[in-house]
Amino acid sequence: MKYPIGIQDFASIINDGYVYVDKTALIYRLVTEGSIYFLSRTRRFGKSLLVSTLECYFRGRKELFRGLAIDSLEKEWAQYPVFHIDFNGTNFTQGGALEETIEKFLTDQEEIYGKNPNSKNIGNRFIDLLKAAHQQTGRRAVVLIDEYDKPILDVLDTTLTTEVDGERRPIEDVNREILKAFYSVFKAADADLQFVLLTGVTKFSQVSVFSGFNQPEDISMSRDFEALCGITEKELYHYFAEPIVKLAERYKVTTEDMKERFQLKELVYIYIARTDSQIKEIEESFKAPGAAIYHILSNGIRVAKETGLVQPGDTIIVTGSSAIGIGSTDMMQIITVK
């Protein structure tokens, strides 16, 4: 079986025959039960794949979803105009980087839907684009924003400055103001919007860029959508059955004994290893860091120590946290338990 390590494009995963953990039943609920959402998860937790899957869905690419749960749920497979902006690939520590990223995004879309010569600022240009897309296609627009907070996180609590109108200003403040103007579009363009999803690492209340429009529905801690990203216990056993068997053989235990090591609850994953070679071995067996995991409560290490799950001197790989926006923004940390 092929596992899509580092692949975040849904179409590539399906077309190239990689394993896809089917989240489409939840995606169908998401798109039919609401319209404007916010989702916070740590990095490398599947947010970009979720956004890519949604883009394929809203573009009506039915052929990619054959055999998945949504195939029997969706009947229309309508094609919507999709506006997808990904802040992932840009370094925002340089002055002007955010402006250039948004300018390119708007210019590319204006080549498709046309430009209103009377619209000057980014907010009005985006509003006009959404309206034009609605009018030209007959369907309201879909907006997908991946890593909405990266332009601020890159410069958060730094002394980096940039020149604005002859004055040196903190890049953090400048980027925050630009994002406020950009995201305020969603209130004015409500009639032209079918669906909006913003993903990021931090809770939006901590970044304060959404004051210009009604707050989106925060599904970061929603029990209805907690499995939208990541892998549940049931999914782990189903989609990773083959490597679990191989792992059990390597450690000379039964498959059931191996499964007992996956104590799954909430959204905090750790794998206990006592040597570097064990860490490497577990990663190679599953072809993914942390795919073989112990799963404990959100106060993590403390609970693990109290229950005897880990001992002083153990090394753990932490691959996620339900304390969204509080812990490390990286998916994987290697920590030695004191």
Mean pLDDT for each consecutive 10-residue tract of the chain (338 residues)?
Answer: 85 95 96 92 83 98 98 96 94 94 96 92 94 98 94 89 92 92 88 94 63 72 85 81 82 80 42 45 40 33 47 47 29 39
How many whole angstroms separate alpha carbon 228 and alpha carbon 167?
44
- Cβ neighbours of residue 9 closer than 8 Å, sequence gap 6 or more: 49, 52
Residue 126 has a pLDDT of 96
**What's the gap between Cα 22 and its chain centre?**
16
How many whole angstroms separate alpha carbon 26 and alpha carbon 9?
18
Residue 16 has a pLDDT of 96
Residue 6 has a pLDDT of 78
pTM of full prediction above 0.85? no
**What's the gap between Cα 240 and its chain centre?**
22
Question: Phi/psi at 33 (nearest 5 deg)?
Answer: -105, -5
Identify the three-state secondary structure at position 168.
strand
Q: At residue 189, what is the residue type?
A: A
Render the burial of 48-77: b for 16+ CB within 10 Å, e for the rest. bbbbbbbbbbbbeeeebbeebebeeebeee
Output the CA torsion sign for 222, 226, 228, 234: negative
Residue 301 has a pLDDT of 46
- Segment holding 38, helix H or strand E: strand 36-40
Q: Where are the domains of the chain?
A: 10-218, 233-336
What is 10-218's CATH number? 3.40.50
Q: Which residue has the tokens 């004015």?
A: 188
Residue 208 has a pLDDT of 63
* Angle subtended by helix axes 241-250 and 276-286, to nearest 10: 150
